Chain A
Amino acid sequence: MTELSIQLINLFASFLLLLAFAMLAQRRVINLVNIYAMQGLTVAAATGVVAYVTHQEHLYYSAAMTLVLKVFLIPWILRRLIKRLDVRWDVETLINIPSMMLIGIVLVVFSFNLALPISKLSTSVSPGTLGIALACVLLSFMMMITRSKALPQVIGFLSMENALVFAATSATSGMPMVVELGIALDVLVGIFILGVFMFQIREQFESLDISHLENLREE
């Protein structure tokens, strides 16, 4: 049975990578939120499987929390935010999509190579997923860099956190509950602050285009 669960975790890891790439290739903001919700679902399912294999109770709670927060609550908040900010336009990127995917591939090769020696030493359930999780982190980071509007950057930040949680659960068979709650609280606070910032930006510049922030330089 552990054979099957290891394959399931590998499957979820690949799904996460696929969703990270799908986020890179998206043009519309609503799809980004939906993909984020699917990512949350994948992470919750993976945490559940790890909990089942390693018989750690608190991971079940962690999976349930992930499910509630990241699949239902946060996407709902984001969708409401989108409606209030009236942000339904096409997302523009700084470099075109095929080039971004090529850079994404280079990042994937890089993180796979980086993770190989570490995963050989690891004792966790499925060591190969560390490389994939690292790749997802880098890809979300790249998404944050190359988008020119504030909302996709926030979603990139959130998906980075998703990938980190996945790395923690699969590579180390789960973090202590306290650490996990701490990270989740940090993210929540960060979201609130970012939300406030977004309203401030829009009031100041009447647009969420971050290139307007460049006017705030010393001249």
Chain B
Amino acid sequence: MTLSQFLSQLFATAVSLLLAPLMLGWVVQLRAWLQNRRGPGIFQPYRTLHKLFNKDSVMAGTASPLFRFAPYLIFGCMLLASAIVPTLSTDLPLAKAADAIALVGLFALARIFISLAAMDVGTAFGTLGARREMFVGFLAEPALLMVLFTSSLIAHSTSLKTIVITQTHKSFTIHPSLIFAAFAFILIFLAENARIPVDNPSTHLELTMIHEALILEYSGRHLALLEWASALKLLAYSSIGIVLFLPWGISTKGSILSLLYALPIFILKLLIFGIVIALIETFSAKMRIFRVPEFLTIAFLLAVIGMLTYILLGVKAS
């Protein structure tokens, strides 16, 4: 790994780190505008993080070292995930470190640690959140894997770099299986990032909590790290969506200049993605918890149908 590659990777990671709260703020602001409110401004998450970092961290007396350590680990996982996904360029050194399956595994690692941390203090909320989070995860993770496999079948590779290059450089072909995969991906996106209709990110009712219940016991800098980690997860998932379905504009060289060229396109795509998410969130109501398995099963089966369609329509043509 040369110095310039290292610097490019650092630059791309820093961009993800700084853009993540902005993406979150953009979605929240859009929802406010759609609901005819003034909204807190797109820079609000930065102010929240600053406030939280300044506060003392208050921890339960019964919390173990796992509880203290988990926010750092989860933050690290999400940062690594957003560094691995080729957001600005496919030629960065970390892109080789993980393919699609390992990326899903990385998200699973973060999910398991946050569930364990929630179970650590031993309150009813924590274990409730842990159970629900693992349940949503156990259905969403295979569905995400299937969606990634649909693209992998088309590109004959699970490496995200090859997927991007295949999509952008082959002649323009419409793959019907990608339509199924796109629908499935949107459903999974909503479930994994705790958006309405699966989970309400601003709820106070235990009846409707999944993500909020997990982080209920955290405060101060630990809570700030977890909030930043969720924003990074949102950014990482949006980047995966862009890589799979809208990869045009991602540069294939690794120099900092090409990264700077790719940056405005990336921000534009993120803005559009945010609008889509905000629209979906505003136009749907939160589902009852026991409908969530149905929701995710539909996503899972759509992804499987996508793979089947590819095999039917792809194999016979040759």
* Residues of A participating in the B interface, judged by any CB pair closer than 8 Å: 7-8, 10-11, 13-15, 17-18, 21, 25, 96-98, 101-102, 104-105, 108-109, 112, 115-116, 119-120, 127-129, 131-132
Q: Does B316 have its Cβ within 8 Å of any Cβ on chain A?
A: yes
Q: Which residue of the partner chain A has the closest CB to B306?
A: A14
Q: Verify A7–B298 contact, CB threshold 8 A.
A: no
* A106 → B minimal CB distance (Å): 11
* A136 → B minimal CB distance (Å): 12
Given contacts A109-B308, A128-B316, 18 further A-B contacts (CB under 8 A): A10-B174, A10-B176, A11-B179, A14-B176, A14-B313, A15-B179, A21-B301, A98-B298, A98-B301, A101-B298, A105-B301, A105-B304, A116-B316, A127-B316, A128-B312, A131-B312, A132-B309, A132-B312
Q: 27 interchain pairs (CB within 8 A)? A: A7-B173, A8-B174, A10-B174, A10-B176, A13-B176, A13-B313, A14-B309, A14-B313, A15-B179, A17-B309, A18-B180, A18-B302, A21-B302, A97-B297, A98-B294, A98-B298, A101-B298, A101-B301, A105-B308, A108-B308, A112-B311, A115-B312, A120-B316, A128-B316, A132-B309, A132-B312, A132-B313
* A121 → B minimal CB distance (Å): 11
Residues of B within 8 A of A18 (CB): 179-180, 183, 302, 305
Give the distance in Å from the alpha carbon of A127 to the alpha carbon of B314 in the complex: 11
Give the distance in Å from the alpha carbon of A116 to the alpha carbon of B312 in the complex: 8
Q: Verify A101–B297 contact, CB threshold 8 A.
A: yes
Give the distance in Å from the alpha carbon of A11 to the alpha carbon of B174 in the complex: 7
Q: Verify A10–B294 contact, CB threshold 8 A.
A: no
Residue from the list A25, A120, A128, A131 in contact with B298, Cβ < 8 A:
A25
Residues of A within 8 A of B158 (CB): none
* B232 → A minimal CB distance (Å): 32
Residues of B within 8 A of A131 (CB): 312
Give the distance in Å from the alpha carbon of A98 to the alpha carbon of B295 in the complex: 9
Q: 10 smallest A-B Cβ distances: which pairs?
A: A14-B176, A98-B297, A128-B313, A7-B174, A101-B301, A112-B312, A11-B174, A11-B176, A10-B176, A10-B313
Interface size on B, residues (CB 8 A): 22
Q: Which residue of the partner chain A has the closest CB to B310?
A: A14
Give the distance in Å from the alpha carbon of A119 to the alpha carbon of B311 in the complex: 14
Residue from the list B177, B180, B294, B304 in contact with A97, Cβ < 8 A:
B294
* A33 → B minimal CB distance (Å): 19
* B128 → A minimal CB distance (Å): 23
Q: Which residue of the partner chain B has the closest CB to A101?
A: B301
Q: Which residue of the partner chain B has the closest CB to A111?
A: B312
Q: Which of B119-167 contact A (CB under 8 A)?
A: none
Q: Given A7-B174, A101-B298: A14 and B180 within 8 A (CB)?
A: yes
Residues of A within 8 A of B180 (CB): 14, 18
* A96 → B minimal CB distance (Å): 8
Q: Which of B269-310 contact A (CB under 8 A)?
A: 293-294, 297-298, 301-302, 304-305, 308-309
Give the distance in Å from the alpha carbon of A14 to the alpha carbon of B294 in the complex: 22
Give the distance in Å from the alpha carbon of A49 to the alpha carbon of B250 in the complex: 33
Q: Which residue of the partner chain B has the closest CB to A15?
A: B179
Give the distance in Å from the alpha carbon of A102 to the alpha carbon of B305 in the complex: 11
* A56 → B minimal CB distance (Å): 23
Q: Verify B305–A105 contact, CB threshold 8 A.
A: yes
Q: Which of B178-221 contact A (CB under 8 A)?
A: 179-180, 183
Residue from the list A13, A96, A119 in contact with B316, Cβ < 8 A:
A119
Give the distance in Å from the alpha carbon of A112 to the alpha carbon of B173 in the complex: 22
Q: Does B317 have its Cβ within 8 Å of any Cβ on chain A?
A: yes
Q: Verify A112–B293 contact, CB threshold 8 A.
A: no
Residues of A within 8 A of B317 (CB): 128
